[in-house]
């Protein structure tokens, strides 16, 4: 059985100890996973240095209303670079990270990519926050002939269209795509008593694709549910109350919202005052699903104002999985920065270590070698084992949802009642024609949740 | 049923419009007097929120924090006007854009340095809601409506009942005659800039308890303030009040009837006005 093989595999990988490990030829998707080769981590002989310095360009949003997100990523990549340099660098070369601001604008990010490669001599690019930006940046990666590791932007169009259909091989996404926000959210929703769902989403690509995946998946899982109302908020909405009251008019008893950042804070606060939480209350909490609710900025700022019992997730939550590597990462992050790691911070940390590992394995800076090594590899990282799918260069790994709990032992709310599915059961699969749940998994999936 | 829902939407739209009004009143007021379109107005709004936050952390008194913060922002406005903006009066418009936009960048980064990039909140100050036509209307919506009207009255009284207001009116109606009859324009420029900045700071502080203070938060509101100001007629206080209400209502009722179009509506309204009456509802030709 697929699940068993996978669990054994996880144990095997975990036994190999800390650090990132890359194995080739991992099965994925609905095929039975087959573990083929796992390379044990050996100390790399320091031969001739490939370069004096390995330079990584990190592009994120460092200005404007969303500048927190650049900072959260920087904490991860800088921590990794510091750790690596302290331990002798990459085959003797120091790592240097050059940070650049995309300002959240596609043309600006493209300009920064060129400048990082041509003027700074960067060997790799990591980062990129938003959907629109990542689609534009992906287009220029073949031209500059460097690898891009995406650590935040989540649109499925990147992996399904730019990489899979158009064949852009230079881009890998090592963070979770909107399947987390739309599809897995629907699996969680299917377990709740709510039958009348409404949404409040940001009015751009991410909001629309999450809501589409959510509706399609949930209506398959639960033919009895209705989608009764939609509200679309511009980024930077100052007042959500007209949106809240217009959806409440349709008497929803469940809410799906992918609001994030400052808009999420405004929305949660105003939803409390407008009585929206009361409308979606059920015996076990709130039928309130907010995929980005467990983002660290939200937990630090909203804290106890976010009602206990709401279902939230992130693209990584620090308490999952409970592995030595993850505990070590969380501890190091708190010691270095005084904050719990954010999802994009974990992804940035992993990206830098991944770069180290592929250079050590291939002993070169040849990107064709790197691509070959990465495709179908399994990467042991704080967020768990990421399978890098060959077809779409998407790292496949699962992240749980959980219910918010205010525990005075922790400076930020924690999650209880963690629920997830094996990633291959909620990620869409090449050729990306059908929506989950996949027919043959349908029964099994429902039993498992 | 439907009518009650629409009435509640309209009230929420009014409350939303009032925030736009408070911020754009300062913008249009300053423009009317100095003829400088101040992009940094949004940054003053952001300062208002952050100062209210920090003073609140010290005093735990919201009203005191709000007013002190707005006064500090007024001082920052005065200094900016005297040191920088006064140098570009009468120069071509691009100078205004470059200078005031430069201020936005500097102020945004100052906020990031002093308060960090993660948004900050104070506890909600107006908790709970009214039940009206079987629907809930948050108390803070009412507080925005009342504050907006009070500010409109104060501006009206200042302009019509005080010497300062009379001089301001004289300056904006006929600049040359006013100056030749011995008015001190520098004094009027700096005080009107202070007043405009005070209103921006007040807007930020009023907004803080229903949301948060975050770097560059002014970027979102300033676009709306410009839309409101242009629809109302640049420099027209009355125009700003009316058009802020229109924008708030259009957005709120739009969310009810055509949710998928909500974000386009203010721009559609703007396009309409620009086509039919390019100088704005109360603007001068």
Which residues in chain B have their CB less than 8 angstroms from residue A101's CB? Answer: none
Q: Please tell me the class of the A2-176+321-396 domain.
A: alpha beta
Q: What is the mean pLDDT of each run of 10 residues along chain A (449 residues)?
A: 41 36 36 34 60 95 88 96 95 96 94 97 96 94 97 94 96 95 96 97 92 94 96 92 94 97 94 94 97 94 94 96 95 97 96 94 93 93 94 95 96 96 88 73 54
Residue B220 sits at the chain A interface (C-beta within 8 Å)? yes
Question: Cα separation of B87 and B95, whole Å?
Answer: 10
Contact A273 B259 (CB under 8 A): no
The answer to whether A343 and A295 have CB atoms below 8 angstroms apart is yes
Question: Cα separation of A188 and B71, whole Å?
Answer: 50
The CA–CA distances, whole Å, from A360 to A90, A106, A171, A318 equal 7, 32, 20, 28
SS3 A166: coil
Which residues in chain B have their CB less than 8 angstroms from residue A243's CB? Answer: 255, 259, 262
Contact A241 B141 (CB under 8 A): yes
Residue A242 sits at the chain B interface (C-beta within 8 Å)? yes
Q: Where are the domains of chain A?
A: 2-176+321-396, 179-314+400-448
> What pTM was computed for the model?
0.89
* Cβ neighbours of residue A263 closer than 8 Å, sequence gap 6 or more: A202, A233, A235, A236, A237
Q: Which residue of B has its CA nearest to A300?
A: B118
Question: Cα separation of A244 and B136, whole Å?
Answer: 10
Contact B12 A262 (CB under 8 A): no
Please tell me the predicted confidence (pLDDT) of residue A434: 77
SS3 A245: helix
Question: Cα separation of B237 and B233, whole Å?
Answer: 9
Element (H, E) at B77: helix B62-83
How is domain A179-314+400-448 classified at the CATH fold level? Rossmann fold (3.40.50)
Which residues in chain A have their CB less than 8 angstroms from residue B251's CB? Answer: 242
Which residues in chain A have their CB less than 8 angstroms from residue B262's CB? Answer: 203, 231-234, 243
B151 class by beta-carbon count within 10 Å (0-12 exposed, 13-18 middle, 19+ buried): buried
Contact B121 A68 (CB under 8 A): no
Maximal C-alpha separation, chain B: 62
Q: How far is A270 from chain B (nearest CA, A)?
A: 7
Of B129, B211, B260, the CB nearest to A238: B211
Of B9, B119, B129, the CB nearest to A274: B129
Is the N-terminal amide bond of B204 cis, ω within 30° of 0? no
Question: Cα separation of A348 and A431, whole Å?
Answer: 28
Q: Is the pLDDT assigned to residue B111 strictly greater than 80?
A: yes
Rg (CA), chain B: 19
Q: Where are the domains of chain B?
A: 2-276
Contact A64 B212 (CB under 8 A): no
The strands making up A171-173's β-sheet, listed across from edge to edge, are A94-101, A53-60, A124-127, A147-150, A171-173
β-pair partners for A22 = A379
Contact B121 A305 (CB under 8 A): yes
Contact A203 B119 (CB under 8 A): no
Which residues in chain B have their CB less than 8 angstroms from residue A239's CB? Answer: 12, 15-16, 19, 210
A positions 247-306 inside 8 Å of B (CB): 248-249, 261-262, 265-266, 269-270, 272-275, 297, 300-302, 305
Please tell me the predicted confidence (pLDDT) of residue B174: 83
B positions 53-72 inside 8 Å of A (CB): none
Q: How far is A277 from chain B (nearest CA, A)?
A: 12
The answer to whether A267 and A238 have CB atoms below 8 angstroms apart is no
At B117, is the pLDDT very low, low, confident or very high (cuts 50, 70, 90)? Answer: confident
Residue B15 sits at the chain A interface (C-beta within 8 Å)? yes
Of A237, A239, A262, the CB nearest to B214: A262
Contact A242 B252 (CB under 8 A): yes
Please tell me the predicted confidence (pLDDT) of residue B185: 86
Q: How far is B81 from chain A (nearest CA, A)?
A: 24
Q: What is the CATH number of domain B2-276?
A: 1.10.3470
Please tell me the predicted confidence (pLDDT) of residue A47: 59
- Looking at every residue in chain B, the average pLDDT score rounds to 92
Please tell me the predicted confidence (pLDDT) of residue A45: 54
Q: Where are the alpha helices (DSSP H) in A311-399?
A: 324-337, 343-362, 367-374
The answer to whether A314 and A176 have CB atoms below 8 angstroms apart is no
Please tell me the predicted confidence (pLDDT) of residue A49: 78
Q: Which residue of A has its CA nearest to B211?
A: A266
Contact A233 B262 (CB under 8 A): yes
């Amino acid at each position: 059985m697929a699940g068993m093989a996978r669990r054994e595999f996880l144990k095997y990988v975990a036994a190999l100890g800390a650090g990132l490990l890359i194995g080739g030829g991992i099965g994925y998707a609905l095929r039975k996973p087959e573990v083929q080769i796992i390379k044990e981590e050996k100390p790399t002989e320091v031969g001739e240095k490939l370069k004096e310095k390995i330079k990584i360009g990190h592009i994120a949003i460092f200005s404007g209303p969303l500048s927190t997100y650049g900072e959260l990523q920087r904490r991860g990549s800088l921590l990794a670079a510091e750790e690596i340099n302290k331990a002798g660098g990459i085959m003797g070369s120091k790592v240097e990270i050059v940070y650049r601001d995309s300002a959240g604008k596609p043309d600006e990010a493209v300009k920064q990519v060129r400048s990082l490669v041509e003027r700074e001599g960067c060997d790799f690019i990591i980062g990129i926050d938003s959907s629109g930006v990542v689609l534009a940046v992906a287009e220029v990666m073949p031209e500059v002939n460097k690898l891009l590791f995406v650590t935040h932007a989540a649109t499925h169009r990147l992996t399904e269209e730019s990489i899979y259909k158009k064949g852009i091989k230079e881009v890998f996404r090592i963070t979770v795509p909107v399947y987390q926000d739309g599809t897995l959210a629907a699996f969680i929703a299917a377990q709740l008593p709510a039958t009348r769902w409404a949404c409040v989403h940001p009015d751009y690509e991410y909001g629309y694709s999450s809501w589409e995946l959510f509706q399609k998946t949930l209506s398959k899982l639960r033919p009895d549910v209705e989608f009764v109302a939609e509200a679309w908020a511009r980024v930077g909405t100052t007042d959500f109350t007209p949106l809240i009251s217009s959806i409440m008019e349709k008497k929803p008893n469940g809410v799906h919202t992918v609001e994030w950042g400052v808009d999420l804070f405004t929305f949660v606060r105003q939803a409390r005052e407008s009585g929206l939480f009361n409308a979606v209350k059920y015996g076990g909490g709130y039928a309130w699903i907010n995929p980005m609710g467990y983002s660290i900025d939200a937990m630090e700022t909203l804290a106890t104002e976010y009602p206990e019992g709401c279902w939230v997730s992130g693209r990584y939550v620090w308490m999952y999985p409970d592995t030595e590597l993850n505990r070590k990462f969380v501890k190091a992050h708190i010691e270095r920065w005084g904050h719990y790691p954010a999802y994009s911070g974990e992804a940035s940390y992993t990206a830098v270590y991944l770069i180290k590992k592929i250079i050590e394995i291939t002993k070169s800076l040849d990107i064709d070698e790197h691509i070959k090594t990465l495709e179908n590899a399994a990467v042991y990282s704080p967020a768990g084992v990421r399978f890098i799918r060959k077809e779409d260069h998407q790292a496949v790994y699962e992240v749980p949802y959980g219910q918010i709990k205010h525990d005075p032992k922790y400076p930020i709310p924690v999650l209880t009642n963690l629920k997830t599915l094996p990633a291959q059961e909620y990620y869409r699969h090449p050729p990306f024609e059908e929506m989950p749940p996949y027919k043959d998994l349908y029964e099994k999936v429902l039993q498992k949740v | 049923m439907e009518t009650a829902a629409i009435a509640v939407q309209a009230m929420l739209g009014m409350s939303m419009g009032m925030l736009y009004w408070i911020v754009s009143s300062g913008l249009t007021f300053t423009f009317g007097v100095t003829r400088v379109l101040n992009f940094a107005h949004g940054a003053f709004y952001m300062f208002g929120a952050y100062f209210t936050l920090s003073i609140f952390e010290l005093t735990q008194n919201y009203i005191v924090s709000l007013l002190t913060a707005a006064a500090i922002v007024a001082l920052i406005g005065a200094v900016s006007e005297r040191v920088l903006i006064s140098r570009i009066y009468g120069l071509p418009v691009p100078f205004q854009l470059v200078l005031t936009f430069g201020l936005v960048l500097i102020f945004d980064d100052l906020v990031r340095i002093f308060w960090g990039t993660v948004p900050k909140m104070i506890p909600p100050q107006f908790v709970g809601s009214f039940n009206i036509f079987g629907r809930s209307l948050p108390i803070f919506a009412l507080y925005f409506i009342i504050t907006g009207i009070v500010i409109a009255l104060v501006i009206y009284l200042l302009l019509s009942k005080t010497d300062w207001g009379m001089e301001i009116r004289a300056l904006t109606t006929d600049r040359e005659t006013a100056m030749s009859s011995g008015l001190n324009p520098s004094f009027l420029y700096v005080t009107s800039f202070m007043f405009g900045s005070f209103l921006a700071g007040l807007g930020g502080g009023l907004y803080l308890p229903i949301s948060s203070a975050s770097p560059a938060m002014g970027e979102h509101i300033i676009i709306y303030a410009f839309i409101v100001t242009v629809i109302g007629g640049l420099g027209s206080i009355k125009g700003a009040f009316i058009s802020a209400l229109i924008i708030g209502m259009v957005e709120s009722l739009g969310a009810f009837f055509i949710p998928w179009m909500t974000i386009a509506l203010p721009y559609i309204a703007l396009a309409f006005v620009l086509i039919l009456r390019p100088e704005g509802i109360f603007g001068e030709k």
